[in-house]
């Protein structure tokens, strides 16, 4: 080797990040660069002239010698011109993974082999970590309580965890390769198309509550979360799906709602029953007496009455009149009693009262997917109300709306508050139900008028008593065949602020 070529060789050897080793055809090390020193821990003096097998760990060492002699004898290449992953052995006898490529050349009429060694230690560590991470993920998936599955974009199931087996009753073997529609009740098949459309648009679906079908046909309430799976180029190639079995929770929710309904019904019945029994009993006596007196007088005056009979008839009529007075007194006491009940009023933030009431009324209605729009006027001053009673009114109206919307596709409930002039606040409750029939509309606030089969029809009547006891008004607004709208007007109490404003203007 001469001049600049030598120098270039030296610089290349010294600069190379990867290890470079040159051996002769017997394996004797002829060159060994600084990168190799770092890799193997040997100084050049310790390896030059010695056999390269010293850098190969014991298990492969004999093989290595074999490869060299085999190549020398038969020309059969094991590694020449190729690259492969092998292990190297350091001076301290520890081993490390390396990527070895070997080229063949001629020097001074003899064959030489040039090996380039790339250290794989860091890469391996990374891969190992990655492997651990993915096995951790695999375990999380395996032990998840939620079904986790993946599907291709056309809906073919590609993975299926243990929870999916438990929840849906199909084993992984049965499910993988099948179409996702095996899990979907026929009437909800359109839903899958919607989900796919959303996925195509790159949207995720979070906690979508719906119904799915088990292998045995049983339907279960589930909450779905679906996320698109993208390939390296960002194309959506499938979807991962998490399915939570809500049946237990839903059953509990349904039960709660049933109990609530029953309670509300009992409460209505009791209030109504007590009231009506009291009214019936109290009113029955004077009415019976009036009836008897009047019929007696009629009888006495029927034909040619004697003066004594006329006098008796007069007495009977006078007594009947007294009894009508008695009936009137009963009604007055009843009204006083009702009004006394509602006397406790305090300044309340009507918006908060309504929001709370709506929250109460919506309990257990998640499966109806009602869209609620609250449009509350934050400028509204506090109103003097009995919070419990106004909440009763709101809960009643909202529950009526929810019941009314049970049979329609689009369920929207909107509530609005606003100031209406200086001394009134207005609350609007609107639903997207079928609206009020004209015959219901005209009798709406009468007791016992209801469109519900099991209802007592007393709710709105009580609502009206409450609102009127607050000095307000409640009425149904004529809808144009689309939903029912109720309007409640409540008085805004005069405040010192208003006084100042009035004085200023």
- Told to check if 316 binds other proteins by CB under 8 A, we report yes
Nearer to other proteins, 188 or 294 (CB): 294
280 binds other proteins (CB under 8 A): yes
Shortest Cβ 316–other proteins spacing (Å): 5
How many amino acids of this chain bind other proteins (CB under 8 A)? 26
Q: Tell me if 312 contacts other proteins by CB under 8 A.
A: yes
Rounded Cα distance, 268 and 487, in Å: 23
Tokens, residue 75: 């020309």
Which CB, 283 or 420, lies closer to other proteins?
283
Of the pair 237, 327, the CB lying nearest other proteins is at 327
Q: Does 319 bind other proteins (CB under 8 A)?
A: yes
CB of residue 307 to other proteins, shortest distance in Å: 15
Stretch that binds other proteins, among 40-48, 321-329, 388-396, 488-496 (CB under 8 A): 321-329
Q: Which residue has the tokens 């109806």?
A: 368
Of 159 and 292, which CB lies nearer to other proteins in the complex structure? 292
Nearer to other proteins (CB atom), residue 130 or residue 332: 332
Q: What is the DSSP string of 157-213?
A: EEEE-HHHHHHH---HHHHTTSBGGGGS-GGGHHHHHHHHHHHHTT--EEEEEEEEE
Question: Among residue numbers 283 through 302, which ones bind other proteins (CB under 8 A)?
Answer: 284-293, 295-297, 299-300
**278: contact with other proteins by CB under 8 A:** no
Instruction: Provide, rounded to whole angstroms, the least separation between the CB of residue 323 and other proteins.
Output: 5
CB 417 within 8 A of CB 376: yes
Q: How far is the CB of 260 from other proteins (least distance, A)?
A: 28
* Residue 69 interacting with other proteins (CB under 8 A): no
In the complex with other proteins, the residue whose CB is nearer, 17 or 306, is 306
CB of 280 to other proteins, least distance (A): 6
Give residues with Cβ within 8 angstroms of 329, minimum separation 6.
Answer: none
Mind spelling out the 3-state secondary structure of 352-420?
A: HHHHHHHHHHHCCCHHHCCEEEEECCCCCCCEEECHHHHHHHHHHHHHHHHHHHCCCCCCEEEEEEEEC
Q: Which residues contact 378 (CB under 8 A, 6 or more apart)?
A: 351
Site for other proteins contains 281 (CB under 8 A): yes
Residue closer to other proteins by CB (options 305, 471) is 305
Reported as half-sphere exposure (CB side, CA atoms, 13 A), residue 325 has a value of 6
150 strand-pairing partners = 159, 240
What 3-state DSSP class applies to 119? strand
Work out how close the CB of 319 gets to other proteins at its nearest, in angstroms, rounded to a whole number: 7
Q: Which is nearer to other proteins, 305 or 493 (CB)?
A: 305
| In the complex, minimum distance from the CB of residue 317 to other proteins, in angstroms, rounded to a whole number | 11
| CA separation for the pair 313, 291 (Å, rounded) | 13
Query: Residue 24: what are its φ and ψ, rounded to 5°?
Result: -90, -175
Nearest-10 crossing angle of helices 459-469, 307-341: 80
State the minimum distance, in angstroms, from the CB of residue 298 to other proteins.
8
Please tell me whether residue 502 adopts helix, strand or coil conformation.
helix
Least CB distance to other proteins at residue 267 (A): 21
Site residues, other proteins (CB under 8 A): 277, 280-281, 284-293, 295-297, 299-300, 312, 315-316, 319-320, 322-323, 326
């Amino acid at each position: 080797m001469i001049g600049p070529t030598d120098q270039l060789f030296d610089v290349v050897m010294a600069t190379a990040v990867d290890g470079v080793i040159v051996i002769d055809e017997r394996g004797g090390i002829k060159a060994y660069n600084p990168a190799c020193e770092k890799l193997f821990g040997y100084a050049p003096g310790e390896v030059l002239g010695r056999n390269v097998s010293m850098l190969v760990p014991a298990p492969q060492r004999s093989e290595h010698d074999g490869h060299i002699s085999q190549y020398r004898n038969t020309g059969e290449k094991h590694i020449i011109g190729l690259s492969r992953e092998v292990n190297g052995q350091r001076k301290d006898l520890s081993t490390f993974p390396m990527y070895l490529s070997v080229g063949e050349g001629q020097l001074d009429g003899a064959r030489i082999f040039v090996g380039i060694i790339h250290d794989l230690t860091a890469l391996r560590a990374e891969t190992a970590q990655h492997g651990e991470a993915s096995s951790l993920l695999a375990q999380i998936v395996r032990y998840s309580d939620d079904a986790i599955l993946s599907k291709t974009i056309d809906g073919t199931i590609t993975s299926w965890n243990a929870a999916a087996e438990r929840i849906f009753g199909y084993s992984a073997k049965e499910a993988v390769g099948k179409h996702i529609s095996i899990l979907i009740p026929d009437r909800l098949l359109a839903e899958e198309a919607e989900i796919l459309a959303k996925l195509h648009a790159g949207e995720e679906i979070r906690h979508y509550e719906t119904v799915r079908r088990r292998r045995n046909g049983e339907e279960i309430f589930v909450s779905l979360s679906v996320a698109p799976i993208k390939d390296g180029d960002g194309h959506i190639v499938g979807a991962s799906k998490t399915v939570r079995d809500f049946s237990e929770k839903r059953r509990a929710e349904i039960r709660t709602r049933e109990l609530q309904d029953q309670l509300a019904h009992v409460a209505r019945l009791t209030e109504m029953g007590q009231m009506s029994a009291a009214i019936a009993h109290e009113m029955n006596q004077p009415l019976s007496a009036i009836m008897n007196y009047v019929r007696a007088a009629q009888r006495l005056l029927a034909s040619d009455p004697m003066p004594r009979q006329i006098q008796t008839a007069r007495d009977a009529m006078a007594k009947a009149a007294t009894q009508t007075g008695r009936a009137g007194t009963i009604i007055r006491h009843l009204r006083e009693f009702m009004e006394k009940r509602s006397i406790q009023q305090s300044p309340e933030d009507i918006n908060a009262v309504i929001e709370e009431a709506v929250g109460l009324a919506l309990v257990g209605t998640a499966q109806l997917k009602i869209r609620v729009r609250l449009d509350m006027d934050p400028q509204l001053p506090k109103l003097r109300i009995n919070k419990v009673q106004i909440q009763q009114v709101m809960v009643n109206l909202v529950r009526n709306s929810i019941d009314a919307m049970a049979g329609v596709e689009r369920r929207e409930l909107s509530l609005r508050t606003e100031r209406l002039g200086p001394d009134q606040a207005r609350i609007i409750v609107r639903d997207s139900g079928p609206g009020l029939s004209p015959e219901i509309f005209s009798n709406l606030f009468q007791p016992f008028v209801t469109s519900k089969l099991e209802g007592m029809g007393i709710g709105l009547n009580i609502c009206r008593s409450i609102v009127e006891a607050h000095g307000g008004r409640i009425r149904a607004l004529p809808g144009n065949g689309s939903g029912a709208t109720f309007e409640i007007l409540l008085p805004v109490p005069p405040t010192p602020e208003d006084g100042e404003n009035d004085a200023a203007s």
